[in-house]
Amino acid sequence: MAGPPGPKQQVIDGADPLDSGCYLDAATVSAKKVSLMDRRHIIGEIELRYSHREQAAWGRFVGSEGLDKLALHRHEVDLVIGVDRESDGESLEYQDDYWFDYQWGDLLKTGSGRLHAWVRICFDGAEVAYGETDRIDLP
């Protein structure tokens, strides 16, 4: 798999998993379905991704076909993807428009306690869904 163009970004809190090369050995260590708050309509999945080689973790979201249809025909869809490290309370958020593919936030270094990823989904500016992964102790 080819890497991103340009020099590799340093693997530190707040780095991009793609630009830092962390995606190359990444594995999903926890995943949860995300549904609309007012009904059981699944609109995607939030994942906690982990690079063992770089000891880093981040959140990744993939929307369902149902979310794609809502975004195309009914709503402006925005995402906030986050990752939290419990040991020091560090929390990172990445906000973007939904673009019908995998979307991910910035990474946190591991090795000092449990982490989890989360996503907040808004339709036309109003929060309609929230989901988070299990809290995982990563080396």
Give the tens place of pLDDT for each residue, 81-117. 999 999 999 999 999 999 999 999 999 999 889 999 9
Domain count of the fold of the chain? 1
Domain annotation covers residue 125: yes
Domain annotation covers residue 1: no
3-state secondary structure labels for all residues of 30-60: EEEEEECCCCCCEEEEEEEEEECCCCEEEEE
SS3 106: coil
Instruction: Report d(CA 46, CA 120) in Å as an integer.
Output: 10
Domain annotation covers residue 54: yes
131 token code pair:
């989901």
pLDDT in tens, 3-33: 555 568 999 999 999 999 999 999 999 999 9
Residue 128's domain comprises 22-137
Helices (H) and strands (E) in the chain, counts: 1, 10
Domain annotation covers residue 2: no
pLDDT in tens, 30-62: 999 999 998 889 999 999 999 999 999 999 999
Domain annotation covers residue 3: no
Tell me, what CATH number does 42's domain have?
Answer: 2.60.40
Give the CA angle between residues 116, 49, 60 to the nearest 5°: 85
Domain annotation covers residue 12: no
pTM of the model: 0.92
Domain annotation covers residue 13: no
Domain annotation covers residue 8: no
Amino acid at 45: E
**CB burial class (10 A; 0-12, 13-18, 19+) of residue 102?**
exposed
